[in-house]
Amino acid sequence: MRAVKLRSFGEPDVLTCEEVVVPPVGWGEVLVKIACCGVCHLDLILRSGLRSRVALPRVLGHELAGEVVSVGAGVDAFAAGDRVTVFNFQACLECEDCLRGHPSLCRFSKGDIGQTRDGGYAEYAVLLASNLVKIPQGLAMEAACFAACVYGPPYKAILQVGNLQAGQTVVITGASGGLGLAAIQIVNALGGRSIAVTSSAAKAELLKSKGASDVIVSEDGAFGDDVRRLTDGRGVDLVVELVGSPTFAGTLRSLAPGGRCALIGELHGKPVSINLGLLIIKEFRIEGVQSASRDEVREILDFMKKHDLTPEIWRRLTLEEAALAHLQLQAREAIGRVLLIP
Ligand SMILES: [Zn+2]
Ligand SMILES: [Zn+2]
């Protein structure tokens, strides 16, 4: 089979496609023929070597969907022909955190697809059955592959942290990325109003065309007063914070009393200052949101099907073009997601 093997860390050109043997299928494992695999910003970090967990050589790619070819011993939940996608991390499913329904907090994780196990930049992948989720009939693989990583965090932010009700308003920072566009779709599906914040004036029109009710262009993160103007001075019920420290002051300023901030992204890793008195008086809630678990991915797939949510696909590229995909993502040219089609 063809696979993009990362053999050394570095610039995008370390990604080259080669002919390799299809790995054997062991106990509890499933051989999947990859139909498509999204290229994630995390992949850029992994390729550059900034995360030490990746042992080389490695096949990147955790946003995959495909068809089961064969199953190993001990697998009875899947059979050849099943359409499947994955959730990103291999929680142990046995520890205290896993058992109380927080597998994303598992400290005994056996590693992540595309990090400690070969992923989807290939024609085939051997995956643990415990990482697979069946795709509901009628939902395209090109949508399903993004359930965990792209729709997962905004879904958890908007439904779990935000408990969004029809008519409520949500601010989405960093709205023109894949997660931001997914967040806009989810808010719309629930009958909410979305205020998209972007640092790029060039992307404002696009955000409108993708369903944002209002768009604020803010280069300095000081958009709180604009949000208040758009909400008759009240502020919003929920902020989906995809940028983190650069926009956090604007986020706090945007919240209505009792408002919630679901924190998904932190791009700069810088500390922020918070007036704790404000948190008390306004009863704000700030919650971190991690990847979706298996049960959540099932829920999200059903939600995507029910509301006909399809991700914005910017480019479809071949495995041979994996390096090009990384270059384009790195240059921040992409609006929406890049897919590799083996
Ligand atoms: Zn991802
Ligand atoms: Zn666990």
DSSP states of 149-209: IIIHHHHIIIIIIS---TT-EEEEETTTSHHHHHHHHHHHHTT-EEEEEES-GGGHHHHHH
- Region 317-326: mean pLDDT is 97
Q: Which of 250, 15, 42 is nearest to 150 (CA)?
A: 42
Closest-lying ligand to the alpha carbon of 42?
1
* Cα separation, 293 vs 87, whole angstroms: 6
- Paired strand residues for 26: none
Between 228 and 130, residue with greater pLDDT? 228
Q: How far apart are CA 340 and CA 61, in angstroms?
A: 9
Check whether 213 has a pLDDT greater than 70. yes
Distance 292 CA to ligand 1 centre (A): 11
**What is the Å distance from ligand 1's center to 145 Cα?**
10
Closest-approaching ligand to the CA atom of 103 = 2
Residue 212 half-sphere exposure, CB side, CA atoms within 13 Å?
26
Answer yes or no: is pLDDT of 52 > 90. Answer: no
> Cα of 290 to ligand 2 centre, how many Å?
15
Mean pLDDT for the stretch of residues 213-223: 95
One-letter amino acid for residue 294 of the chain: R
Q: How remote is the CA of residue 233 from the centroid of ligand 2, in Å?
A: 44
C-alpha of residue 128 to centroid of ligand 1, in Å: 18
Distance 283 CA to ligand 1 centre (A): 33
The pair of three-digit structure tokens given for residue 247, joined into one six-digit string: 């926009």
**pLDDT averaged over the chain?**
94
% of the chain surpassing 90 pLDDT: 79
- Mean pLDDT across 166-178: 94
Task: Give the model's confidence band at 293: pLDDT under 50 very low, under 70 low, under 90 confident, else very high.
Answer: confident
- Domain ranges in the chain are 2-146+311-340, 150-288
Instruction: Tell which residue, 195, 162, 155, has the closest CA to residue 284.
Output: 162
Confidence at 102, pLDDT banded by 50, 70, 90: confident
Amino acid 54: pLDDT = 86
CA–centroid distance, residue 225 to ligand 1 (Å): 33
pLDDT grade for 111, boundaries at 50, 70 and 90: low
Q: What number of residues does the chain have? A: 342
Following CA atoms 171, 177, 181, 183 in sequence, which dihedral angle do they give, to the nearest 10 degrees?
-50
Q: Ligand 2: distance of its center to the CA of 315 in Å?
A: 36
- Name the fold adopted by 150-288: Quinone Oxidoreductase; Chain A, domain 1 (3.90.180)
Over range 160-174, report the average pLDDT: 96
Residue with tokens 């758009």: 230
Give me the long-range contacts of 49-56 (CB less than 8 A, separation at least 24). 49/9, 49/10, 51/115, 53/111, 53/112, 53/115, 53/116, 54/6, 54/115, 54/116, 55/116, 56/6, 56/7, 56/8, 56/9
| Closest listed ligand to the CA of 130 | 2
Phi, psi of 131, rounded to the nearest 5 degrees:
-100, -5
pLDDT band at 303 (very low <50, low <70, confident <90, very high): very high
Closest CA to 126 of 5, 23, 2: 23
Q: How far is the CA of 162 from the centre of ligand 2 (A)?
A: 26
Q: Tell which CATH architecture fits domain 2-146+311-340.
A: Alpha-Beta Complex (3.90)
CA 102 – ligand 2 centroid, Å: 8
Domain 2-146+311-340 matches domain 150-288 at the CATH topology level: yes
